[in-house]
C-alpha cells in the first residue's frame, strides 16, 4: 500500500511540476507581448507627440479681434475688379449676461454638453469620434467642442486634415488658458453663421422672430441653436419642414441632457414652426451692395464648393459677372430705357427670372432675380435660381426633337402628321390653337410649337433615350410621363438650368455647367480653390446644328412663335414656352382659357445664351396673351445690348450635315424634278448619308397630243376633232372649248383620239384645247381654232383673206404650244379663287363649280389668279383669253411640243 501511494504521489508531483513549467512559459510570453505593445505605444505616442508639436508650432497666434469678429469676404467681377464685400452687416452683439439660460441650455445640449467640464478638448467625446472615424472613415464624425469651433471659425481653414486638427486642439487648449468659459461661450454665440448673411444668435433672434435675445422662448431657442449645423438648409423661411425637424431634434437633446422635462419637450415640439416668425417683408435686410441677385447665386455656389462661409471666412471670390451686362439687365427689369412696358397688376408686380450666360464656357454673365423687390430685403426669393416652374414648350427641342435627331437621324424635313391624337392612356391632346395642319415637317412643328408632333417625336424616340439626353444637359430628372413632352407634368426648372441646356446647341453639342465662380482664394492669401467645371460632349454635332437651324425659324419665320425676341441682323435661335392651368385651377381662381401661369423664352447665339421666365409669384394671377410677350421682349433687349459691336458668327454647319432641296409634300423626301413648281421646292438639312437621292415624279409632264385638227360640218352643225398620240397606256384626254374668248369649259374626257362636238349653235371662233392626263400628271395643251360662220359671211370673204385666216390660225396653234404667237387659252385666270398648281383655284372663300365657270358672287375673297388657263375650282371664272388672238405669222416651227399648223375649217368649206 505504501509503495503504491508513493507511486501516485510521485505522479501527482510530476504533473504539478509539468504544469508549473508550462505556466511559466505562457506567462513569460504574455509579458513579452505586453512589453512590446507598451514600447510600440510609447513610440507611437512619442511620434504622435512629436508630430503634434510640429504642427502646433506652426499654428497662428491667438488674436482677440479675430476671435470676436468674423472676416468679411470680397467678391470680384470677371475683370478682377472688386464689386462688393460680404459680411459687413450690422450685428447685434450679446454679452454673456444678456443670454438667457434657456438659450444657453439649447446651445450646450446641441453643440457641447460637457463644455464646463473639459479644458478645450473633450476626451470622452473624442474617443467616440475616433471609433466612428475608424469604422466610417476619416471625417465621418466630429468631436469639436465649442472652444474648438471658435478656433476653427477664427483662424483656420475648414479642410479636414491632421495638421488643422492638431492646430485646432493646441489653440483650443491655449484659448481655455487665456479666457474664461463665459468669454469663450460669448465668442461662439456671436460668431456663428445663421443663414441669410447674418452672424450671431442674438442677430438671428431679431431676424427670425423680431425679438431681443433675452425674450426668446423655448421653441424659438431650439430653432436658433440648431441652425449652425447647416444654416441655409434649416432656414425656416425657405425650408420650414427641415427647420422643424432640426428644432425638434434640439428639443430632444435638451430633454436627454436634463435641460427640460418631457412635458416641456412635447409642448414645444407641438408648436408650428411658423409661429412667431416675422413676415417676409420684415426680414432679410439687404446690405445695399451691388448685384444682389448675382451675389446670391455666388454665395450658394461657394457653399457647394466646400465648407466655406462667405460672411466670416475672409475669402476672395473671383466671379464671372459682366458688370455692364448685369447693370443693363437690372435696368431692363426696372423698366428703364426699354422699348416695351410691363403689365400693371394692382395685387403684385409681374416677376421675371433671367440668366445671361456665355454660350461657349457656361460662365454666367448676369442674373436677374426679380422685379420691384424690397431694397431692404437681403437674399430674398431669387426668381432666377430659386424658382422651379414647368418649362412649357421650351422642353420640346430638348426632350423630343433633339433626341430624335440624335438617335433616329431625322432630317429637319421629317414629316409628322398633325392630327387629332391621344396620349397612350386615351387622354385627348390638342394644339394651342385647337386646329390640326395634317402632315408637316418637324421644322414647322417647332416654329409653330405643335403639341401633337412633339408628343409623336417623344414616343418614337422613347422616354428612356429622351431622359438620358436631357440629363446630359444638366436636367437631372428621374422619370418622364408623356405629358412632359409638351412641358406638362414634369420636374420644375429655373432659368439657370435652361440657359445651360440650350447653350449646348449653340456650342456644337458641348455642355458646360452654368457657374458664377472661377476660383476662391482662402484667408491665407495663397490657397486657391478652382471651380473645376469641365466641358463634356452632350450630343452629336449634327444634332446641335440642325436643332439650332430649326430654332432660328422660330424667330425668323413670319408666323414663328418667337417673333418678338428677334434682333435684326443677329443670327439667333430660340424657343418660346407657355404653361397651362388645370381645369380645377381655372374654376378655382376664375381664370379665362387664354390665361397662363408661366411664359418662357430661351434665345442663344454662338456668343451668349439668355433664358427668361416671367409670371406672378401668386399662381392665381395669370398672364394674358399680350403679357406672355414680355419674356421675348426681355431677351431681345438684353441680347441686343450684349451683342452690340461684337462679332457674332452664325452657327457652324459641320461636315456631318448636308443641305438638300426637297419637293414639299413628298414623303419619303424626294428631290424636285425640272417640273416641280418653285413654290414647292424647299431646302432642308439631313444627316450625311440620309439625304434623298430619288427624284420626284409628282409634277412630271407627259407628252402633249400632236396633229390636233378641227373641222366644222355646216350641214350637221357639228365639229369633228382628231389628234395623234404615242403608245403610252392609261392615257385619257380632256377636251375643253372657249367660244369667242369667253370662259373655257371642259366638254369631255375620253380615251379616244378624237371627239365629235354636236349641236353647234353659236357662231364665231371656237378654240379647242386637248390635254393628255395620266394619273396625277397632265400634259401641256394642244389647241386649234375652228371658225363657225353663216353662208352670207362666207360669200363675202376673199381667197386672200382666207389665206390670211389660215396663217392666223397657224399662229394661234403654235402660240399655244410655246411658239411665237400669243395664242388664246394661256391667259391668267382672273377669278377670285387662287388658281394654284394645275388651274385649281381652291383658295377662294366661296367655291364655284368644278369647272370654274360659275360667276363669282359678291364679296368673295380675292385670289391670286390661275397659273395657266384659269378654269380651276375656285370661285372665279377666269378671263382665259391670253394676251391676244394669235398674232404669230409663222407656221409653228418654233413650237416645243406644238402641233403642226392646220387649215381653218371655213377655208376647207370654200374649197
Active site residues: 111, 393
Look at residues 64, 316, 69, 60 and name the one whose alpha carbon lies nearest to residue 163: 60
**Integer Cα distance of 104 and 112 in angstroms:** 11
**Integer Cα distance of 907 and 904 in angstroms:** 5
Look at residues 593, 610, 437 and name the one whose alpha carbon lies nearest to residue 514: 610
Go through 104-137 and write b for each residue having 16 or more CB atoms within 10 A of its CB, e for each that does not. Answer: bbbbbbbbbbebeebebbbeebbeebeeeeeeee
Look at residues 488, 471, 489, 467 and name the one whose alpha carbon lies nearest to residue 479: 467
**Integer Cα distance of 104 and 213 in angstroms:** 11
The residues, ordered by sequence, that sit 6+ positions from 485 with a Cβ below 8 Å of its Cβ are: 395, 396, 399, 400, 454, 455, 457, 458, 459, 466
CA dihedral sign, ordered 609, 298, 370, 82: negative
Question: Nearest 5°: CA angle at 72, between 66 and 77?
Answer: 150
Contact 309, 334 (CB under 8 A): no
**Integer Cα distance of 125 and 112 in angstroms:** 9
Contact 648, 607 (CB under 8 A): yes
CA dihedral sign, ordered 175, 180, 185, 191: negative
Locate 528 and state its grid cell: 486657391
**Integer Cα distance of 386 and 45 in angstroms:** 52
The torsion angles phi and psi of 48, rounded to 5 degrees, stand at -65, -40
Locate 167 and state its grid cell: 492646430
Look at residues 333, 367, 366, 336 and name the one whose alpha carbon lies nearest to residue 350: 333
Amino acid at each position: 500500500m505504501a509503495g503504491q501511494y508513493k507511486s501516485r504521489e510521485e505522479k501527482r508531483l510530476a504533473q504539478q511540476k509539468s504544469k508549473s513549467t508550462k505556466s511559466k512559459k505562457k506567462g513569460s510570453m504574455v509579458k513579452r507581448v505586453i512589453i512590446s505593445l507598451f514600447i510600440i505605444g510609447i513610440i507611437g505616442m512619442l511620434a504622435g507627440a512629436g508630430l503634434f508639436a510640429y504642427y502646433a508650432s506652426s499654428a497662428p497666434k491667438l488674436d482677440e479681434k479675430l476671435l470676436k469678429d468674423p472676416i468679411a469676404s470680397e467678391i470680384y467681377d470677371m475683370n478682377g475688379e472688386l464689386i462688393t464685400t460680404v459680411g459687413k452687416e450690422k450685428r447685434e452683439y450679446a454679452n454673456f449676461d444678456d443670454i438667457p439660460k434657456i438659450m444657453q441650455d439649447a446651445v450646450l445640449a446641441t453643440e457641447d454638453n460637457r463644455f464646463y467640464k473639459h479644458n478645450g478638448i473633450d476626451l470622452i467625446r473624442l474617443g467616440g469620434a475616433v471609433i466612428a472615424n475608424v469604422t466610417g472613415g476619416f471625417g465621418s464624425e466630429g468631436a469639436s467642442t465649442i472652444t474648438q469651433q471658435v478656433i476653427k471659425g477664427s483662424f483656420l481653414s475648414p479642410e479636414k486634415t491632421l495638421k488643422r486638427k492638431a492646430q485646432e486642439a493646441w489653440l483650443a487648449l491655449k484659448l481655455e488658458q487665456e479666457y474664461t468659459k463665459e468669454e469663450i461661450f460669448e465668442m461662439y454665440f456671436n460668431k456663428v453663421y445663421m443663414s441669410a448673411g447674418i452672424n450671431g444668435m442674438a442677430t438671428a433672434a431679431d431676424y427670425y422672430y423680431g425679438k431681443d435675445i433675452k425674450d426668446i422662448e423655448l421653441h424659438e431657442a431650439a430653432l436658433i441653436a440648431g441652425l449652425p449645423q447647416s444654416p441655409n438648409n434649416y432656414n425656416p423661411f425657405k425650408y420650414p419642414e427641415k427647420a422643424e425637424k432640426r428644432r425638434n431634434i434640439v428639443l430632444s437633446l435638451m430633454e436627454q441632457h436634463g435641460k427640460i422635462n418631457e412635458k416641456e419637450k412635447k409642448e414645444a415640439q407641438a408648436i408650428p414652426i411658423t409661429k412667431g416668425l416675422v413676415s417676409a417683408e420684415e426680414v432679410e435686410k439687404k446690405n445695399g451692395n451691388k448685384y444682389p441677385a448675382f451675389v446670391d447665386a455666388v454665395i450658394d455656389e461657394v457653399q457647394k464648393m466646400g465648407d466655406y462661409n462667405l460672411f466670416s471666412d475672409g475669402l476672395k471670390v473671383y466671379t464671372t459677372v459682366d458688370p455692364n451686362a448685369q447693370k443693363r439687365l437690372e435696368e431692363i427689369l426696372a423698366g428703364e430705357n426699354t422699348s416695351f412696358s410691363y403689365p400693371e397688376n394692382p395685387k403684385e408686380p409681374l416677376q421675371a427670372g433671367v440668366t445671361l450666360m456665355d454660350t461657349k464656357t457656361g460662365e454666367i454673365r448676369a442674373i436677374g432675380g426679380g422685379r420691384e423687390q424690397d431694397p431692404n430685403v437681403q437674399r430674398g426669393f431669387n426668381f432666377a435660381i430659386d424658382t422651379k416652374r414647368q418649362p412649357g414648350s421650351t422642353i420640346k427641342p430638348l426632350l423630343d426633337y433633339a433626341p430624335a435627331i440624335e438617335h433616329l437621324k431625322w432630317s429637319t424635313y421629317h414629316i409628322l402628321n398633325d392630327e387629332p391624337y391621344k396620349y397612350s392612356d386615351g387622354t385627348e391632346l390638342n394644339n394651342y390653337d385647337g386646329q390640326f395642319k395634317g402632315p408637316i415637317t418637324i421644322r414647322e412643328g417647332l416654329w409653330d410649337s405643335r403639341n401633337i408632333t412633339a408628343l409623336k417625336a417623344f414616343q418614337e424616340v422613347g422616354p428612356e433615350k429622351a431622359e438620358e439626353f436631357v440629363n446630359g444637359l444638366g436636367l437631372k430628372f428621374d422619370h418622364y410621363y408623356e405629358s412632359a413632352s409638351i412641358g406638362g407634368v414634369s420636374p420644375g426648372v429655373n432659368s439657370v438650368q435652361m440657359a445651360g441646356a440650350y447653350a449646348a446647341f449653340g456650342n456644337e453639342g458641348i455642355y458646360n455647367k452654368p457657374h458664377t465662380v472661377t476660383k476662391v482664394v482662402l484667408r491665407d492669401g495663397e490657397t486657391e480653390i478652382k471651380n473645376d467645371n469641365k466641358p463634356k460632349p452632350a450630343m452629336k454635332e449634327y444634332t446641335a446644328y440642325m436643332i439650332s437651324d430649326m430654332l432660328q425659324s422660330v424667330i425668323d419665320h413670319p408666323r414663328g412663335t418667337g417673333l418678338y425676341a428677334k434682333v435684326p441682323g443677329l443670327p439667333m435661335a430660340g424657343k418660346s414656352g407657355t404653361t397651362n392651368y388645370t381645369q380645377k385651377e381655372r374654376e378655382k381662381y376664375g381664370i379665362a382659357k387664354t390665361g397662363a401661369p408661366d411664359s418662357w423664352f430661351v434665345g442663344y447665339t454662338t456668343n451668349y445664351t439668355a433664358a427668361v421666365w416671367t409670371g406672378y409669384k401668386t399662381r392665381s394671377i395669370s398672364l394674358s396673351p399680350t403679357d406672355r410677350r414680355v419674356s421675348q421682349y426681355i431677351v431681345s433687349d438684353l441680347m441686343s445690348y450684349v451683342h452690340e459691336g461684337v462679332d457674332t458668327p452664325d452657327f457652324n454647319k459641320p461636315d456631318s450635315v448636308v443641305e438638300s432641296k426637297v419637293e414639299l409634300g413628298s414623303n419619303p423626301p424626294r428631290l424636285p424634278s425640272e417640273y416641280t413648281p418653285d413654290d414647292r421646292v424647299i431646302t432642308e438639312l439631313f444627316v450625311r448619308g440620309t439625304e434623298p437621292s430619288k427624284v420626284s415624279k409628282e409634277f412630271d409632264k407627259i407628252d402633249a397630243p400632236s396633229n390636233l385638227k378641227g373641222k366644222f360640218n355646216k350641214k350637221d352643225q357639228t365639229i369633228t376633232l382628231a389628234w395623234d398620240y404615242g403608245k403610252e397606256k392609261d392615257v385619257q384626254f380632256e377636251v375643253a372649248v372657249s367660244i369667242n374668248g369667253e370662259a373655257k369649259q371642259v366638254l369631255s374626257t375620253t380615251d379616244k383620239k378624237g371627239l365629235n362636238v354636236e349641236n353647234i349653235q353659236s357662231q364665231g371662233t371656237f378654240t379647242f384645247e386637248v390635254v393628255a392626263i395620266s394619273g396625277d400628271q397632265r400634259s401641256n395643251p394642244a389647241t386649234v381654232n375652228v371658225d363657225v360662220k353663216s353662208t352670207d359671211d362666207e360669200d363675202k370673204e376673199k381667197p386672200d383673206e382666207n389665206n390670211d385666216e389660215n396663217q392666223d390660225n397657224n399662229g394661234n396653234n403654235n402660240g399655244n404650244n410655246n411658239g411665237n404667237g400669243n395664242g388664246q387659252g394661256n391667259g391668267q385666270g382672273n377669278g377670285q379663287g387662287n388658281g394654284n398648281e394645275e388651274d385649281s383655284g381652291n383658295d377662294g372663300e366661296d367655291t364655284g363649280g368644278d369647272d370654274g365657270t360659275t360667276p363669282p358672287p359678291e364679296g368673295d375673297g380675292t385670289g391670286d389668279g390661275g397659273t395657266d388657263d384659269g378654269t380651276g375650282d375656285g370661285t372665279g371664272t377666269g378671263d382665259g383669253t391670253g394676251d391676244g388672238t394669235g398674232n404669230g405669222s409663222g407656221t409653228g416651227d418654233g413650237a416645243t411640243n406644238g402641233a403642226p399648223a392646220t387649215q381653218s375649217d371655213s377655208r376647207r368649206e370654200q374649197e
